[in-house]
Structure 1
Amino acid sequence: MTGRLVNEVVLVTGGARGIGRAVALKAAEEGAAVGLIDVLGDQLAATKAELSGAKVATAVGDITDEVSVRQAVGRLTEELGGPVTVLVNNAGKNSYADATTMSVAEWDGVFDVDLKGAWLLARQVLPSMIEHRHGAIVNVASIHAQLTTAGMFPYAAAKAGLLGMTRSLALDVAPHNVRVNAVSPGYIATDLLEEFFGEFPHEREHALGVHPLGRIGTPENVAEVVCFLASEAAAFVTGANWAVDGGLGVRYA
């Protein structure tokens, strides 16, 4: 424990499992009060139990609905005793669709979670960050935002949009001493990755073979980078996208 997030109120979306859970545990270890939003109530309760020694609050909420976002953030800030100073937009949704047959509702479902939700949360917490001239947002994008493969439509498009939002917001709020960055995980051992391997079983062995580090990453690997970017240790970092992909993104063919 380094205490890099002491006195911070960290809000993590999709905090019930995977990368979100790992970020919550690491943030609490670093001294933060932690708020979690997820639609998975039972798993959210289990994660809260793991954080029993920390100041933590949870809310079951839908990040794609502005009323739900407003109510969830309001409850969490009240329980945690202060406004959100760090937002981690982690909630995400995979998609493996055919562009010619995908319905508009299916398209909206992906973009609502992967992009719109991040904006709704940022819109909710930024006024306080701007007022206090203190805050950080970390958006969890994906290697697919810049380097993708066939069959990932429109997930790659949504995550590319999240990087664009990161850069745009970073410039808009920089005069207020608020920072906005992104991390782009590669293959990370989460439920979403297992979903991907279930859809494309041949990819499991292939993934291990193409990683320069020779392994799949862990949620904790990503959480370390997220919490660094959220902390004052990264005070001069904004508008950046940090790859957490075991070197996959720099490999040729």
Structure 2
Amino acid sequence: MTDKIVLITGGAGGIGQAIAKEHLDNGNTVVLVDLKKEALNAAKNNLGGDNIELIVGDVTDEDSVKKYVARTIEKFDRIDIFYNNAGINGPLKPIKELDKSEFDTIMSINTTGVFLGLKHVIPQMENQGYGSIVNTASNTAYIGSAGMPGYIASKHAVAGLTKTAALEAAEHNIRVNAIAPAAIDTDMLADIQNNLSPGEPEKSGEALKQGIPFGRFGTPEEVAKVAYFLGSDAASFVTGSMYNVDGGMQAD
């Protein structure tokens, strides 16, 4: 798989950068979308190489989504693979303490952002007659987790959107799948650890590892390998699927 145009939202984050690197290493061009120019510049410096395009964009704003899709098409004429990846944790609070505004923010980024990406990328892929989309869900798309009502709700919604989009897009030779990571060693996980045990992230980290059959956190690169497979033609008969990257947590 070479010479592909790969669009990645949340491209400055840990998993976004790991997916980008996997594609860059395999001869593809990546378009990174994220909210802040500074973060995008840092990601580009970290990744290196010339085949990187940066777009500042807000996945919750429909006009902004239209623009990042349009700019990609203007520059490259196509979108071969779309990683609908942007997301946040939100505050760790039980339902009774979570403000509606906090819930709305989580749902806006994690769910509406995915919906808008699908809404505006799928028509372009229909015009092309092909395409592959990989949404970033979570292993929490299958379960509940006390203290994370907004995040859990948003990722359950991503699972539903993935399956629905896969059915709608199949006749146009477009595949839609999702990765379902858990306990991946990124800034988002560090944020959870700091919230669980302020000032002692190692303490909550060890407790979290006890719930993982492999006994360790995953790496962004391990997620990227699965995401790369789903985006590639090696997964040509795979659509509507959720691929766990969780060290066996769903098997427990």
User: What TM-score results when the alignment is normalised by the length of structure 1?
Assistant: 0.93
Identical-residue share of aligned pairs (%): 39
* Contact 1:28-1:54 at 8 Å conserved across structures: no
| Matched position secondary structure for 1:136 | strand
- 2:251 maps to 1:250: yes
Q: Aligned ranges for residues 52-71 of structure 1 at < 5 Å? A: 52-71=48-67
* C-alpha distance in structure 1 between counterparts of 2:10 and 2:126, whole Å: 24
State the 1:123 CA deviation. Answer: 1.3
Which residue is equivalent to 1:156? 152
Which residue is equivalent to 1:143? 139
* C-alpha distance in structure 2 between counterparts of 1:225 and 1:143, whole Å: 14
CA RMSD of aligned residues (A): 1.4
* C-alpha distance in structure 2 between counterparts of 1:185 and 1:153, whole Å: 18
What one-letter code is carried by the residue in structure 2 that aligns with 1:210?
Answer: G
What CA deviation, in whole Å up to 9, does each residue of 1:66-93 have, x standing for no partner? 11111222223333x2221211011111
**Where in structure 1 are there 5+ consecutive unaligned residues?**
none
Which aligned segments of 4 or more residues in structure 1 are displaced greater than 6 angstroms? none
What CA deviation, in whole Å up to 9, does each residue of 1:164-204 have, x standing for no partner? 00000000100111000001001000000000000112531
* C-alpha distance in structure 1 between counterparts of 2:78 and 2:109, whole Å: 23
| Matched position secondary structure for 1:189 | coil
- 2:115 maps to 1:119: yes
- 2:42 maps to 1:46: yes
* C-alpha distance in structure 2 between counterparts of 1:70 and 1:246, whole Å: 36
**Where in structure 2 are there 5+ consecutive unaligned residues?**
198-202
* Contact 1:15-1:38 at 8 Å conserved across structures: yes
* Contact 1:58-1:76 at 8 Å conserved across structures: no
State the 1:137 CA deviation. Answer: 0.6
| Matched position secondary structure for 1:68 | helix
* C-alpha distance in structure 2 between counterparts of 1:137 and 1:223, whole Å: 14
User: What TM-score results when the alignment is normalised by the length of structure 2?
Assistant: 0.93
Which residue is equivalent to 2:86? 91
Decide which moves more: 201-210 or 123-132: 201-210
State the 1:54 CA deviation. Answer: 4.0
Which residue is equivalent to 2:221? 220
* C-alpha distance in structure 2 between counterparts of 1:56 and 1:132, whole Å: 22
State the 1:39 CA deviation. Answer: 1.0
* C-alpha distance in structure 2 between counterparts of 1:244 and 1:148, whole Å: 17
Which residue is equivalent to 1:72? 68
Which residue is equivalent to 1:204? 205
* C-alpha distance in structure 1 between counterparts of 2:52 and 2:73, whole Å: 10
Which residue of 175, 179, 184 maps to 2:180?
184
* C-alpha distance in structure 2 between counterparts of 1:209 and 1:106, whole Å: 30
* C-alpha distance in structure 1 between counterparts of 2:250 and 2:50, whole Å: 36
* C-alpha distance in structure 2 between counterparts of 1:165 and 1:17, whole Å: 22
Aligned residues: 246
* C-alpha distance in structure 1 between counterparts of 2:153 and 2:59, whole Å: 19
* C-alpha distance in structure 1 between counterparts of 2:51 and 2:182, whole Å: 31
- 2:236 maps to 1:235: yes
- 2:157 maps to 1:167: no
Which residue is equivalent to 1:82? 77
What CA deviation, in whole Å up to 9, does each residue of 1:88-111 have, x standing for no partner? 011111132332343332221111
